[in-house]
Amino acid sequence: MHDRIKQLKIVLVISAVIIAIASLAVSHTLVGDLSRKERANMEVWAEAMHAFSDADEQTDLTLVLRVINGNDYIPVIVLSGQNEVVDYRNINFEAPTAADSLAYIQNYAQQLIDKGNVIEISGVSDSPMAESMNLRVAYDESLMLQRLTHYPYVQLGVICLFVVVAIFALLASKRAEQDKVWVGLSRETAHQLGTPISSLMAWTEVLRETYPSDALIAEMGSDVKRLQLIAERFSKIGSKPELKPENICEVIERVVSYIGKRTSDKVRITCSFPDDIVMVKLSASLFEWVIENLCKNAIDAMQGEGHINLYLYRQADTLKLEVSDTGKGIPKNKFKTVFRPGYTTKKRGWGLGLSLAKRIMKEYHRGNIYVKSSSPKGTTFCIDLRLK
Protein backbone atom coordinates (compact mmCIF):
# COMPACT_ATOMS: atom_id res chain seq x y z
CA MET A 1 0.00 0.00 0.00
CA HIS A 2 2.80 2.40 0.93
CA ASP A 3 4.64 1.67 -2.33
CA ARG A 4 1.46 2.21 -4.35
CA ILE A 5 0.80 5.57 -2.67
CA LYS A 6 4.41 6.54 -3.28
CA GLN A 7 4.13 5.61 -6.97
CA LEU A 8 0.90 7.62 -7.31
CA LYS A 9 2.55 10.64 -5.73
CA ILE A 10 5.47 10.37 -8.17
CA VAL A 11 3.08 10.04 -11.12
CA LEU A 12 1.10 13.09 -9.95
CA VAL A 13 4.22 15.20 -9.53
CA ILE A 14 5.66 14.14 -12.91
CA SER A 15 2.31 14.82 -14.60
CA ALA A 16 2.13 18.25 -12.97
CA VAL A 17 5.67 19.08 -14.15
CA ILE A 18 4.91 17.96 -17.73
CA ILE A 19 1.65 19.94 -17.82
CA ALA A 20 3.37 22.99 -16.36
CA ILE A 21 6.26 22.85 -18.87
CA ALA A 22 3.89 22.31 -21.81
CA SER A 23 1.62 25.13 -20.63
CA LEU A 24 4.54 27.53 -20.19
CA ALA A 25 5.95 26.61 -23.61
CA VAL A 26 2.62 27.07 -25.42
CA SER A 27 1.85 30.29 -23.56
CA HIS A 28 5.33 31.64 -24.27
CA THR A 29 4.83 30.95 -27.98
CA LEU A 30 1.39 32.62 -27.96
CA VAL A 31 2.72 35.63 -26.06
CA GLY A 32 5.60 35.97 -28.51
CA ASP A 33 3.25 35.80 -31.53
CA LEU A 34 0.81 38.29 -30.02
CA SER A 35 3.63 40.62 -29.00
CA ARG A 36 5.02 40.64 -32.56
CA LYS A 37 1.52 41.22 -33.94
CA GLU A 38 0.96 44.15 -31.58
CA ARG A 39 4.29 45.72 -32.62
CA ALA A 40 3.34 45.33 -36.28
CA ASN A 41 0.00 46.98 -35.54
CA MET A 42 1.76 49.80 -33.73
CA GLU A 43 4.13 50.34 -36.67
CA VAL A 44 1.08 50.72 -38.93
CA TRP A 45 -0.53 53.01 -36.36
CA ALA A 46 2.65 55.10 -36.11
CA GLU A 47 2.77 55.48 -39.89
CA ALA A 48 -0.85 56.58 -39.82
CA MET A 49 -0.07 59.18 -37.13
CA HIS A 50 2.85 60.42 -39.22
CA ALA A 51 0.67 60.63 -42.30
CA PHE A 52 -1.93 62.55 -40.30
CA SER A 53 0.71 65.01 -39.06
CA ASP A 54 2.15 65.46 -42.56
CA ALA A 55 -1.20 65.81 -44.35
CA ASP A 56 -2.43 68.91 -46.13
CA GLU A 57 -5.93 70.03 -47.07
CA GLN A 58 -6.08 67.88 -50.21
CA THR A 59 -5.09 64.61 -48.45
CA ASP A 60 -7.79 61.99 -47.98
CA LEU A 61 -7.56 61.01 -44.32
CA THR A 62 -10.43 58.51 -44.22
CA LEU A 63 -8.20 55.41 -44.04
CA VAL A 64 -5.68 57.14 -41.79
CA LEU A 65 -8.33 58.10 -39.27
CA ARG A 66 -9.80 54.60 -39.36
CA VAL A 67 -6.38 53.15 -38.46
CA ILE A 68 -5.78 55.73 -35.73
CA ASN A 69 -9.23 55.33 -34.16
CA GLY A 70 -9.06 51.54 -34.52
CA ASN A 71 -6.51 51.27 -31.69
CA ASP A 72 -8.73 50.99 -28.63
CA TYR A 73 -6.74 48.46 -26.59
CA ILE A 74 -2.97 49.16 -26.81
CA PRO A 75 -1.66 51.94 -24.49
CA VAL A 76 0.29 54.37 -26.67
CA ILE A 77 2.01 57.76 -26.26
CA VAL A 78 3.08 59.90 -29.22
CA LEU A 79 6.14 62.11 -28.66
CA SER A 80 7.51 64.84 -30.87
CA GLY A 81 11.14 65.22 -31.94
CA GLN A 82 11.64 67.43 -28.90
CA ASN A 83 10.31 64.62 -26.67
CA GLU A 84 7.06 66.46 -25.95
CA VAL A 85 3.81 64.57 -25.56
CA VAL A 86 1.71 65.02 -28.68
CA ASP A 87 -1.06 62.53 -27.98
CA TYR A 88 -1.85 59.46 -25.90
CA ARG A 89 -4.49 56.76 -25.93
CA ASN A 90 -5.80 53.90 -23.74
CA ILE A 91 -3.99 55.06 -20.61
CA ASN A 92 -6.04 54.97 -17.42
CA PHE A 93 -4.82 57.10 -14.54
CA GLU A 94 -6.00 59.69 -12.07
CA ALA A 95 -4.10 62.93 -11.47
CA PRO A 96 -5.29 65.97 -9.52
CA THR A 97 -3.95 68.55 -12.00
CA ALA A 98 -3.05 68.78 -15.69
CA ALA A 99 0.63 69.26 -14.76
CA ASP A 100 0.56 66.03 -12.78
CA SER A 101 -1.05 64.25 -15.73
CA LEU A 102 1.63 65.45 -18.12
CA ALA A 103 4.40 64.47 -15.71
CA TYR A 104 2.89 61.03 -15.26
CA ILE A 105 2.56 60.48 -19.03
CA GLN A 106 6.12 61.64 -19.72
CA ASN A 107 7.47 59.38 -16.98
CA TYR A 108 5.41 56.47 -18.32
CA ALA A 109 6.68 57.15 -21.86
CA GLN A 110 10.29 57.15 -20.65
CA GLN A 111 9.75 53.77 -18.96
CA LEU A 112 8.39 52.35 -22.22
CA ILE A 113 11.33 53.77 -24.17
CA ASP A 114 13.77 52.23 -21.67
CA LYS A 115 12.05 48.87 -22.21
CA GLY A 116 12.52 49.24 -25.99
CA ASN A 117 8.80 49.61 -26.71
CA VAL A 118 9.27 52.56 -29.08
CA ILE A 119 8.94 53.14 -32.81
CA GLU A 120 10.91 55.94 -34.47
CA ILE A 121 9.45 57.58 -37.59
CA SER A 122 11.43 60.36 -39.22
CA GLY A 123 9.89 63.22 -41.18
CA VAL A 124 9.76 62.70 -44.96
CA SER A 125 8.65 66.19 -45.89
CA ASP A 126 11.00 68.56 -47.76
CA SER A 127 9.98 71.47 -45.59
CA PRO A 128 12.39 73.05 -43.11
CA MET A 129 10.06 71.80 -40.36
CA ALA A 130 10.72 68.14 -41.24
CA GLU A 131 12.97 67.66 -38.24
CA SER A 132 10.27 68.85 -35.90
CA MET A 133 7.85 66.37 -37.48
CA ASN A 134 9.87 63.33 -36.32
CA LEU A 135 7.64 61.12 -34.18
CA ARG A 136 8.35 58.63 -31.45
CA VAL A 137 5.59 56.23 -30.60
CA ALA A 138 5.97 54.56 -27.21
CA TYR A 139 3.58 51.71 -26.54
CA ASP A 140 2.86 49.20 -23.83
CA GLU A 141 1.48 45.66 -23.89
CA SER A 142 -2.28 45.42 -24.17
CA LEU A 143 -4.30 44.19 -21.20
CA MET A 144 -4.98 40.94 -23.05
CA LEU A 145 -1.27 40.34 -23.63
CA GLN A 146 -0.47 41.13 -19.99
CA ARG A 147 -3.09 38.65 -18.84
CA LEU A 148 -1.81 36.01 -21.22
CA THR A 149 1.74 36.60 -19.92
CA HIS A 150 0.68 35.99 -16.31
CA TYR A 151 -1.83 33.24 -17.02
CA PRO A 152 0.70 30.34 -17.16
CA TYR A 153 1.92 31.15 -13.66
CA VAL A 154 -1.62 31.27 -12.34
CA GLN A 155 -2.25 27.96 -14.08
CA LEU A 156 0.95 26.56 -12.59
CA GLY A 157 -0.22 27.58 -9.12
CA VAL A 158 -3.58 25.88 -9.69
CA ILE A 159 -1.84 22.71 -10.87
CA CYS A 160 0.45 22.70 -7.84
CA LEU A 161 -2.57 23.23 -5.56
CA PHE A 162 -4.35 20.36 -7.28
CA VAL A 163 -1.35 18.05 -6.82
CA VAL A 164 -1.03 19.00 -3.14
CA VAL A 165 -4.75 18.39 -2.54
CA ALA A 166 -4.56 15.08 -4.43
CA ILE A 167 -1.56 13.92 -2.38
CA PHE A 168 -3.27 14.90 0.88
CA ALA A 169 -6.38 13.03 -0.26
CA LEU A 170 -4.29 9.93 -1.01
CA LEU A 171 -2.58 10.15 2.38
CA ALA A 172 -5.92 10.63 4.13
CA SER A 173 -7.32 7.63 2.26
CA LYS A 174 -4.28 5.59 3.23
CA ARG A 175 -4.57 6.67 6.87
CA ALA A 176 -8.28 5.83 6.96
CA GLU A 177 -7.59 2.40 5.48
CA GLN A 178 -4.83 1.79 8.02
CA ASP A 179 -7.13 2.85 10.84
CA LYS A 180 -9.74 0.32 9.73
CA VAL A 181 -7.09 -2.41 9.59
CA TRP A 182 -5.70 -1.59 13.05
CA VAL A 183 -9.14 -1.30 14.63
CA GLY A 184 -10.32 -4.55 13.06
CA LEU A 185 -7.12 -6.36 14.00
CA SER A 186 -7.24 -5.08 17.59
CA ARG A 187 -10.87 -6.00 18.18
CA GLU A 188 -10.48 -9.39 16.57
CA THR A 189 -7.42 -10.03 18.78
CA ALA A 190 -9.41 -9.06 21.88
CA HIS A 191 -12.26 -11.33 20.78
CA GLN A 192 -9.96 -14.29 20.12
CA LEU A 193 -8.21 -13.84 23.47
CA GLY A 194 -11.49 -13.83 25.39
CA THR A 195 -12.20 -17.59 25.30
CA PRO A 196 -8.74 -18.89 26.32
CA ILE A 197 -8.46 -16.24 29.05
CA SER A 198 -11.79 -17.32 30.52
CA SER A 199 -10.61 -20.92 30.43
CA LEU A 200 -7.29 -20.01 32.09
CA MET A 201 -9.13 -18.11 34.82
CA ALA A 202 -11.22 -21.17 35.56
CA TRP A 203 -8.22 -23.50 35.63
CA THR A 204 -6.34 -21.08 37.87
CA GLU A 205 -9.22 -21.17 40.39
CA VAL A 206 -9.21 -24.97 40.28
CA LEU A 207 -5.45 -25.04 40.93
CA ARG A 208 -5.78 -22.47 43.71
CA GLU A 209 -8.36 -24.64 45.50
CA THR A 210 -6.28 -27.76 44.94
CA TYR A 211 -2.95 -26.23 45.94
CA PRO A 212 -3.81 -23.26 48.17
CA SER A 213 -0.28 -22.78 49.49
CA ASP A 214 1.53 -22.80 46.15
CA ALA A 215 2.99 -19.32 45.48
CA LEU A 216 3.38 -20.01 41.76
CA ILE A 217 -0.40 -20.25 41.32
CA ALA A 218 -0.78 -16.71 42.62
CA GLU A 219 1.80 -15.58 40.08
CA MET A 220 -0.11 -17.46 37.37
CA GLY A 221 -3.23 -15.61 38.47
CA SER A 222 -1.39 -12.31 38.03
CA ASP A 223 -0.37 -13.28 34.51
CA VAL A 224 -3.95 -14.23 33.64
CA LYS A 225 -5.11 -10.84 34.90
CA ARG A 226 -2.39 -9.37 32.73
CA LEU A 227 -3.86 -11.15 29.74
CA GLN A 228 -7.24 -9.72 30.63
CA LEU A 229 -5.73 -6.23 30.69
CA ILE A 230 -4.12 -6.79 27.30
CA ALA A 231 -7.42 -7.95 25.81
CA GLU A 232 -9.12 -4.91 27.32
CA ARG A 233 -6.54 -2.63 25.73
CA PHE A 234 -7.06 -4.16 22.30
CA SER A 235 -10.83 -3.86 22.65
CA LYS A 236 -10.52 -0.12 23.34
CA ILE A 237 -8.68 0.60 20.07
CA GLY A 238 -11.12 2.33 17.71
CA SER A 239 -13.51 3.50 20.42
CA LYS A 240 -13.17 6.64 22.50
CA PRO A 241 -11.90 5.61 25.93
CA GLU A 242 -13.08 7.24 29.12
CA LEU A 243 -10.40 9.49 30.57
CA LYS A 244 -10.27 9.66 34.36
CA PRO A 245 -8.07 11.70 36.71
CA GLU A 246 -5.09 9.49 37.56
CA ASN A 247 -1.92 9.94 39.58
CA ILE A 248 0.47 9.56 36.65
CA CYS A 249 3.38 8.70 38.94
CA GLU A 250 1.50 5.65 40.26
CA VAL A 251 0.57 4.60 36.73
CA ILE A 252 4.22 4.73 35.65
CA GLU A 253 5.40 2.90 38.78
CA ARG A 254 2.96 0.05 38.05
CA VAL A 255 4.50 -0.37 34.60
CA VAL A 256 8.07 -0.18 35.95
CA SER A 257 7.24 -2.77 38.63
CA TYR A 258 5.76 -5.14 36.05
CA ILE A 259 8.63 -4.72 33.57
CA GLY A 260 11.27 -4.94 36.30
CA LYS A 261 10.07 -8.39 37.42
CA ARG A 262 10.15 -9.74 33.88
CA THR A 263 13.47 -8.53 32.58
CA SER A 264 17.13 -9.21 33.21
CA ASP A 265 18.82 -8.12 36.44
CA LYS A 266 21.31 -6.35 34.17
CA VAL A 267 18.64 -3.82 33.24
CA ARG A 268 18.24 -0.99 35.73
CA ILE A 269 15.07 1.10 35.60
CA THR A 270 14.87 4.37 37.54
CA CYS A 271 12.22 7.10 37.86
CA SER A 272 12.55 10.83 38.49
CA PHE A 273 9.22 12.38 39.53
CA PRO A 274 8.16 15.80 40.87
CA ASP A 275 7.67 16.05 44.63
CA ASP A 276 3.96 16.91 44.33
CA ILE A 277 1.20 14.61 43.15
CA VAL A 278 0.48 15.02 39.44
CA MET A 279 -3.12 14.25 38.48
CA VAL A 280 -3.83 13.88 34.77
CA LYS A 281 -6.87 12.66 32.86
CA LEU A 282 -5.83 9.31 31.38
CA SER A 283 -7.02 6.00 30.15
CA ALA A 284 -4.69 4.23 32.56
CA SER A 285 -4.62 0.88 30.75
CA LEU A 286 -3.82 2.46 27.37
CA PHE A 287 -1.23 4.85 28.82
CA GLU A 288 0.46 1.93 30.59
CA TRP A 289 0.60 0.21 27.20
CA VAL A 290 2.52 3.18 25.76
CA ILE A 291 5.07 3.12 28.59
CA GLU A 292 5.45 -0.66 28.26
CA ASN A 293 6.17 -0.34 24.55
CA LEU A 294 8.85 2.28 25.17
CA CYS A 295 10.47 0.25 27.96
CA LYS A 296 10.40 -3.01 25.99
CA ASN A 297 11.89 -1.31 22.93
CA ALA A 298 14.58 0.21 25.14
CA ILE A 299 15.43 -3.22 26.58
CA ASP A 300 15.69 -4.65 23.07
CA ALA A 301 17.88 -1.73 21.96
CA MET A 302 20.21 -2.31 24.95
CA GLN A 303 20.25 -6.08 24.22
CA GLY A 304 19.15 -6.84 27.77
CA GLU A 305 21.81 -4.80 29.57
CA GLY A 306 21.77 -1.10 30.45
CA HIS A 307 19.89 1.71 32.17
CA ILE A 308 16.40 3.09 31.53
CA ASN A 309 15.37 6.36 33.16
CA LEU A 310 11.86 7.85 33.20
CA TYR A 311 11.96 11.58 33.88
CA LEU A 312 8.65 13.39 34.53
CA TYR A 313 8.50 17.20 34.66
CA ARG A 314 6.25 20.18 33.92
CA GLN A 315 6.85 22.74 31.19
CA ALA A 316 4.24 25.52 31.21
CA ASP A 317 0.86 23.81 30.61
CA THR A 318 2.46 20.60 29.38
CA LEU A 319 3.53 17.53 31.32
CA LYS A 320 6.54 15.83 29.77
CA LEU A 321 7.77 12.30 30.28
CA GLU A 322 11.18 11.42 28.89
CA VAL A 323 12.11 7.76 28.55
CA SER A 324 15.86 7.43 28.04
CA ASP A 325 17.94 4.31 27.45
CA THR A 326 21.58 3.42 26.87
CA GLY A 327 20.93 1.43 23.71
CA LYS A 328 22.42 1.58 20.23
CA GLY A 329 20.41 4.64 19.15
CA ILE A 330 18.25 5.52 16.15
CA PRO A 331 19.52 7.23 12.96
CA LYS A 332 18.23 10.80 12.69
CA ASN A 333 16.51 10.10 9.37
CA LYS A 334 14.44 7.37 11.11
CA PHE A 335 13.01 9.59 13.90
CA LYS A 336 9.60 9.70 12.19
CA THR A 337 9.85 6.37 10.39
CA VAL A 338 9.90 4.40 13.65
CA PHE A 339 6.24 5.39 14.20
CA ARG A 340 5.18 4.07 10.80
CA PRO A 341 3.10 0.86 10.94
CA GLY A 342 5.13 -2.17 9.98
CA TYR A 343 8.54 -0.58 10.56
CA THR A 344 10.76 -2.72 12.79
CA THR A 345 14.44 -3.63 13.16
CA LYS A 346 13.69 -6.79 15.11
CA LYS A 347 13.81 -10.28 13.62
CA ARG A 348 10.50 -10.98 15.33
CA GLY A 349 7.73 -8.42 15.60
CA TRP A 350 5.05 -6.68 13.58
CA GLY A 351 6.27 -3.11 13.98
CA LEU A 352 2.95 -1.93 15.43
CA GLY A 353 3.99 -0.97 18.99
CA LEU A 354 5.15 2.59 18.39
CA SER A 355 2.47 3.15 15.76
CA LEU A 356 -0.25 2.25 18.26
CA ALA A 357 1.51 4.29 20.97
CA LYS A 358 1.40 7.32 18.66
CA ARG A 359 -2.29 6.76 17.99
CA ILE A 360 -3.08 6.37 21.71
CA MET A 361 -1.30 9.60 22.58
CA LYS A 362 -2.56 11.78 19.72
CA GLU A 363 -6.14 10.60 19.27
CA TYR A 364 -7.11 9.56 22.78
CA HIS A 365 -5.05 11.84 25.04
CA ARG A 366 -4.57 14.93 22.81
CA GLY A 367 -0.85 14.53 23.39
CA ASN A 368 2.18 13.55 21.38
CA ILE A 369 5.09 11.14 21.37
CA TYR A 370 8.33 11.65 19.46
CA VAL A 371 12.06 10.94 19.45
CA LYS A 372 13.68 13.84 21.29
CA SER A 373 17.29 12.82 20.73
CA SER A 374 19.40 9.81 19.84
CA SER A 375 23.04 8.84 19.50
CA PRO A 376 25.08 5.61 19.55
CA LYS A 377 25.04 5.97 23.37
CA GLY A 378 21.25 5.95 23.71
CA THR A 379 17.85 7.31 22.76
CA THR A 380 15.31 9.58 24.47
CA PHE A 381 11.62 9.37 23.63
CA CYS A 382 9.38 12.17 24.89
CA ILE A 383 5.67 12.10 25.69
CA ASP A 384 3.75 15.39 25.90
CA LEU A 385 0.47 15.61 27.83
CA ARG A 386 -1.66 18.73 28.14
CA LEU A 387 -2.56 19.70 31.68
CA LYS A 388 -5.37 22.07 30.56
pLDDT at 29: 86
* pLDDT reading at 301 higher than 70: yes
pLDDT at 290: 92
pLDDT tens, residue by residue, 122-158: 654 444 444 445 778 888 888 888 888 888 788 778 8
pLDDT at 128: 42
Judging by beta carbons within 10 Å of its beta carbon (0-12, 13-18, 19+), is residue 102 exposed, middle or buried? middle
Fold of 241-386: Heat Shock Protein 90 (3.30.565)
127 compared with 180, residue with greater pLDDT:
180
Query: Could you tell me the pTM of the whole model?
Result: 0.52
310 compared with 173, residue with greater pLDDT:
310
Q: What is the mean pLDDT of residues 195-204?
A: 82
pLDDT tens, residue by residue, 41-73: 888 888 887 777 777 667 777 887 888 888 888
Distance CA 171, CA 348 (A): 28
Is 70 in contact with 48 (CB distance < 8 Å)?
A: no
